[in-house]
């Protein structure tokens, strides 16, 4: 859990050996979440409020330097606590690589 995923991805890229592969499991959103949800303590505790939108997540990894960024599996969650979250939270497993030198 990090509020600065860009920084996390940059550091992961820095320490990964050339030609190395990283696998990450995380939550992403389908579309932007309402501000009310983003500011909710319960949503932060549930790792939902800080989740990035799926395409933004993948782009952030690419921006950190990773190549061949690909979702290898995903599972959508039908969260019934809020109509605003219905079919909007997805667990993804992402593979990415650091180019060989």
The 3-state DSSP class for residue 12 equals helix
pLDDT at 90: 87
* Domains of the chain by start residue, with CATH: 5-97 (3.40.50.150)
- How many other CB atoms are there within 10 angstroms of residue 80's CB atom? 8
pLDDT tens profile 9-68: 999 999 999 999 999 999 898 877 767 676 665 665 566 767 889 999 999 999 999 999
| pTM value surpassing 0.85 | no
pLDDT > 60? residue 69:
yes
pLDDT at 88: 78
pLDDT at 93: 98
């Amino acid at each position: 859990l990090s509020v600065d995923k860009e920084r996390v991805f940059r550091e992961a890229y820095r320490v990964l050996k050339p030609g190395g592969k990283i696998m990450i499991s995380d939550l992403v959103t389908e579309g932007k979440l309402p501000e009310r949800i983003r500011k909710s303590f319960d949503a932060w505790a549930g790792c939902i409020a800080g989740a990035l939108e799926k395409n933004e997540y993948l782009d952030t990894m690419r921006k950190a330097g990773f190549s061949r960024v690909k979702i290898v599996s995903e599972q959508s969650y039908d969260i019934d606590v809020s109509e605003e979250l219905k079919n909007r939270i997805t667990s993804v497993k992402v593979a990415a690589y650091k180019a060989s030198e």
